Amino acid sequence: MRIGSARPEDELEISLIPLIDVVLTLIIFFVVTTTFQDRSALKIALPESNGQIAETPKDPLTIVVDAEGRYFVGGSEVLRRDVASLREAIGKVAGDDKNRAVILRADGKTPHQAVITAMDAIGQLGFSRLSIATVPATADAK
């Protein structure tokens, strides 16, 4: 004989609310901690030159100095503007290859000291193939 209670058995229920809370928390975490790279935000106006156009070397190390004097090595910004920080950033990107060509792209309105600091860091690391990027002079500038 079966003795049972008069109440129906509890129904099995899966609550999705805690799962949704966890997923939304993870999404918010990843959105907040993700860094977005906007490479097109860096605009520089190169100085003009009447010289001949030279061949671009194969796989050069590019150092960009914008109008405010900020340095960008290999596409990433150098946070401090001193020679030691710039030298360290160049060393990380270039490695041991001191024969690699270096192209210095400085905005035409860059302070002269920022360009000299970049050239100093390049020279201290032992690079000897340095090119300074320019654009051809326009007819109005002549």
Containing domain of residue 122, as a range? 40-141
84 CB neighbour count, 10 Å cutoff: 10
Within-domain flag for 13: no
Q: What is the pLDDT of residues 112-132, one digit of tens each?
A: 888 888 888 888 888 888 888
Whether 8 is in a domain gets the answer: no
pLDDT of residue 133: 79
DSSP letter (8 states) at residue 1: -
Indicate whether 86 belongs to any domain. yes
- Asked if residue 28 belongs to a domain, the reply is no
Which residues have C-beta within 8 Å of that of residue 108, sequence separation ≥ 6?
Answer: 45, 46, 47, 48
Structural domain total, the chain? 1
SS3 call for 67:
coil
Residue 3, domain member (yes or no): no
CATH number of the domain residue 107 falls in: 3.30.420.270
On whether the pTM is more than 0.85, the answer is: no
Task: Tell me the per-residue pLDDT of 59-101, one tens digit each, with 9 for 90 and over.
Answer: 788 888 888 888 998 888 888 888 898 899 988 888 888 888 8
For residue 11, being part of any structural domain is answered with no
